[in-house]
Every structure is written in C-alpha cells, then in structure tokens.
Structure 1
Amino acid sequence: MEVEQTPLPGVGIRYDFATAYGRRLGLLVHRDERVDLVVYAENDPDIVAESVTLQPQERAVLVELLALPPGEDDPESRTHHRTWQLTEDQP
C-alpha cells in the first residue's frame, strides 16, 4: 500500500492513501501537532467530504482500536476503558 506524503508549507504534512475499495483517507498533521482525520469525496479525491480533529488522547485511543481489537490485550495497559450503560426495555 502506498502512502503519499505531501508537505503543506505553513500548515504541516498531509498523509493520504486509498483503501482497497477506492476511498481516499488521510491525516493532516499540523505544525502545532493538531491532527485532522480526513475522508475524501468519492467522486473527487481533492475534496474533503469529512474531517475530524483529534486531540492527542483521542489519537492514542483510535490507534489502539485500529491496531488491536478491544479485549485482546491487558486492559490495564489501555489508554481507554469500556463504559457500559444498561437500560431496561420499556413495554
């Protein structure tokens, strides 16, 4: 898989790749260390369809979730914990 790295003067570096289904995804790493996760439009790879700014802790959680399915490692070493909320079905 090829990852394109594009320097953006005054902004940071953009990393992009195409999935097996042809969707383009990327990360924009700003000079101030802010990171945007971007999904490009299906019909135009130059247009950003969605963008989510991630804080450092959010990036760490996303990396963990993508690298290893939850529950398959030592839960004490995780940067996040599962929270379950149980509710009763209403008749």
Structure 2
Amino acid sequence: MDITRTTVPGVGVLHHFLTRGGQRFGVLLDHSGLRSLLLYGTDDPDVPAQRIALDHDEADQIAEVLHSTPMADRLASLERRLAELHRGPA
C-alpha cells in the first residue's frame, strides 16, 4: 500500500492510501480533531466522491476493527509480560 501525507493549510492533515488493487481513499484529520474518510471514484481522482465524517469514538472503533490484534488481546499480552517481569527470572 502506498501512503502519502499532506498538510492542507487551514484544514489539517490528509493521508491518501492507494491499495495494491488501485483503489484510493483518504483520511482527513482536521484541526478540530474530526476525522473523515474520503472515498474516491474514477471520475476525478482528486475530488472525493464521498466523505464520511467520524466522531472520535467512531474513528477508534474502526481502528480497532482494522487492527490485526484487538486492543483487549494486546492489553492482556502486555499485562502478562509485566507480571513476568515483576516475578523476575525463574
């Protein structure tokens, strides 16, 4: 996947993603913290065909679903590691 990051003056930061299959989408992080998914069609590669605005919790939920290991599993693994460190060598 090809990822580019662009600062949009007065707006925020735009991340463009291009998949191996040639599909393009973006994630806009504006100065207020709002996140938007930008979906591009084939008509104009520079103008989003659709914009989906996400609240913070919605963006977190999508990130959790897309992450390869769920947050609960990562936290449990970290807790096990800390317990092992606390016990020390056997």
Same fold flag (TM > 0.5): yes
Contact 2:2 2:19 survives alignment (8 Å): no
Flag as ranges the 4+ runs of structure 1 deviating above 6 A: none
Larger radius of gyration: 2
How far 1:67 moved relative to its partner? Answer: 1.1
Q: Which moved more, 1:57-66 or 1:35-44?
A: 35-44
* CA–CA separation in structure 1 for the residues paired with 2:14 and 2:49: 16
* CA–CA separation in structure 1 for the residues paired with 2:63 and 2:42: 24
More helix by share: 2
Q: Deviations over 1:39-90 (max 9, x none)?
A: 11124310201110000100111011111488xx55xx9xxxxxxxxxxxxx
Contact 1:34 1:53 survives alignment (8 Å): yes
Q: Percent identity?
A: 33
* CA–CA separation in structure 2 for the residues paired with 1:21 and 1:44: 18
Partner of 1:18: 18
Contact 1:23 1:42 survives alignment (8 Å): no
Number of positions where the alignment pairs a residue of Structure 1 with one of Structure 2: 73
Name stretches of at least 5 consecutive residues in structure 1 with no aligned partner. 78-91
Name stretches of at least 5 consecutive residues in structure 2 with no aligned partner. 77-90
Instruction: State the AA in 1 paired with 2:13.
Output: I
Alignment root-mean-square deviation, CA: 2.0
